[in-house]
Amino acid sequence: MTRTDEPEPAPDTGAKTTRSAKRALAWIGGVLAAAVAAALTAFLVPRFTGLLDTVTTTGEPVVVRVHVEEMFEDVSLPAGAELSPDDLDRLAGMTPVEQTTWLEAQAHGVVTGTRLITMTLRGNRPHLVRITGVHAERSCAATDRGTLVRIAPGRGDAPPSEHMYIALSDPEGVARQAASGPDGPAEPYFPNRTITLEQGEEEVVVVELSPDYHAPETCDVEFILSIDDQDERVEQRVDHGGQPFRVMAPEQREAEGAYGRVLLAGYVCLHAVEAPAGWESDVLAACGPGNRAQ
């Protein structure tokens, strides 16, 4: 049987042309996509960076975190802030530091004596900011004497990188390098020293805020930071969670008669008891058998 060969089919030039066109279009599309991405990057990056700078510069120039050192000190309660027998039982189960904190928070008490306040300062600008001053702004009134809880004098420590002293007996109320002594106020902390902060940089400052020991009054205090924010001078207020710092001088023995009630607790008596007249001359008898704290 004789086989007749079929003729070879002609090359499909149209298919090759189509594939070449697709490759060309894909290459052109890639180039265009890269160009568009580059253009978008060039357009968006400075605007995004500018947006971040705007966000950064809209808040306060310095972010401040405040911590008031817990301590054990006598606490003055206002008239009407009564302590029930259950409250006294609750206090008996606390340490003197816990008693002081609870009386301040739950019974509207004022902790007497010097307060130790830690401020953590963090720069909040894309440029350097400079703190050039700190002073106290205060509002004082006669102490509302209801109940005085005797606990003990004393305060804790904190590890500062900077230490300032503000005395409310100082008419200027400015931060100083050391506590005032018998020779008068110490040198001001500023302007001989400044605190500079880059963006995100932190500085820890401890302020000893002492009351006027010669004035029978309670003072609400806020700190004012003077800040150079580039060419602008800013005054930034610092308080304690939206509330002022409250300070008063320790009450002397002769002031106890102005209170409706005086209690002995903390490092004086284990379970709080009413203070009899002249209690300091015989604390054991004042606390009762087995109730002396020391």
Q: What pLDDT does residue 48 have?
A: 46
Cα distance between residue 256 and residue 276, in whole Å? 11
Q: What pLDDT does residue 165 have?
A: 87
pLDDT band at 97 (very low <50, low <70, confident <90, very high): very high
Question: What does the pLDDT average to over 253-277?
Answer: 95
Question: What does the pLDDT average to over 235-262?
Answer: 94
pLDDT band at 294 (very low <50, low <70, confident <90, very high): confident
Lowest average pLDDT, out of 158-162, 178-182, 245-249, goes to 158-162
Question: What does the pLDDT average to over 165-193?
Answer: 81
Q: Which residue has the tokens 């001359």?
A: 281
**What's the pTM value of the predicted model, to 2 decimals?**
0.73
Question: What does the pLDDT average to over 92-107?
Answer: 95
Q: Where are the alpha helices (DSSP H) in the chain?
A: 13-58, 85-92, 96-106, 283-287
Q: Is residue 236's pLDDT more than 90? A: yes
Q: Is residue 141's pLDDT more than 50? A: yes
Q: What pLDDT does residue 146 have?
A: 96
Cα distance between residue 110 and residue 256, in whole Å? 15
pLDDT band at 169 (very low <50, low <70, confident <90, very high): confident
pLDDT for 115-131, tens place per residue?
A: 999 999 999 999 999 99
Q: What pLDDT does residue 20 have?
A: 57
Interacting residues of 76 by C-beta distance below 8 A, sequence separation 6+ = 109, 110, 112, 143, 145, 146, 147, 148, 149, 218, 248, 251, 259
Q: What pLDDT does residue 263 have?
A: 97
Question: What does the pLDDT average to over 230-234?
Answer: 93
Q: Domain map of the chain by residue range?
A: 14-58, 59-287
Q: Is residue 269's pLDDT more than 80? A: yes
Q: What pLDDT does residue 14 have?
A: 52
Cα distance between residue 118 and residue 136, in whole Å? 15
Q: For the chain, what is the mean pLDDT?
A: 83
Task: List the beta bridge partners of residue 66.
Answer: 119
Cα distance between residue 211 and residue 179, in whole Å? 12
3-class secondary structure, 61: coil
273-274 sheet: strands from edge to edge:
110-111, 75-77, 147-150, 261-264, 273-274
